[in-house]
Structure 1
């Protein structure tokens, strides 16, 4: 993991913690896996899946009754992200405040990251 010892790679707000715990209990899940996949107009989309068990090399963050698993390929992109759950008059859902994002689409469904230093843009 791309982490600083003693520091959580992501933070979870109390609202997100409650919602994750509620989802886990409703589906009898081990936790909520967060990852990234190619897609959307900005290039990458967040993925979220309730899972029964962790996979090898996943980072597991526990906070209260909530458990978040970070897929290995997403770890470097999610470091420093705050996960929140927002409810307003028109919609409710998880929001990612990610300092690594360099651009996002207008609807907020996809994001872009700068190429990692030393990697080739594809």
Structure 2
């Protein structure tokens, strides 16, 4: 399992965790949705489930469902601000295409 994170992304995630110290980590993974198939999930994990894997990246505990592991392996997570907008950005070597709006991706 190889996930990397930029300093901007780790700082943003640590800020979320600082506000919710009971959370075991940040849930990172994918869900089926959108016009291309998968969309990323980044949210506080309220608990660890039996089918979760916990990995630490840049000091941030990431909670990943086992069925998402292969789809996010190798992903670099960034956090970018553009004008008034701010969002996580993902560079995923497993993605073979994205929808026109950039909200979902496909794997080959």
1:46 pairs with 2:36: no
Structure of greater Rg: 1
Quote how far apart the aligned CAs of 1:41 are.
0.9
1:42 to 1:73, Cα distance in 2 relative to 1, 3 A: same
**CA-atom RMSD in angstroms:** 1.6
4+ residue runs of structure 1 moved beyond 6 angstroms?
Answer: none
1:21 aligns to what SS in structure 2? helix
Q: Number of residue pairs matched?
A: 107
1:113 paired residue number:
107
- Secondary structure of the 1:17 match is helix
> Matched residues in 2 for 1:36 and 1:64: separation?
20
Gaps of 5+ in 2: none
TM-score by length of 1: 0.79
Give the superposition deviation at 1:56.
2.3
- Which structure has more strand as a fraction of its residues? 2
Question: Is residue 83 from structure 1 mapped to residue 96 from structure 2 by the alignment?
Answer: no
Partner of 2:90: 96
Deviation at 1:20, TM superposition (A): 0.5
* Structure 1 pair 80–71 and aligned structure 2 pair: CA distance change class (3 A): same
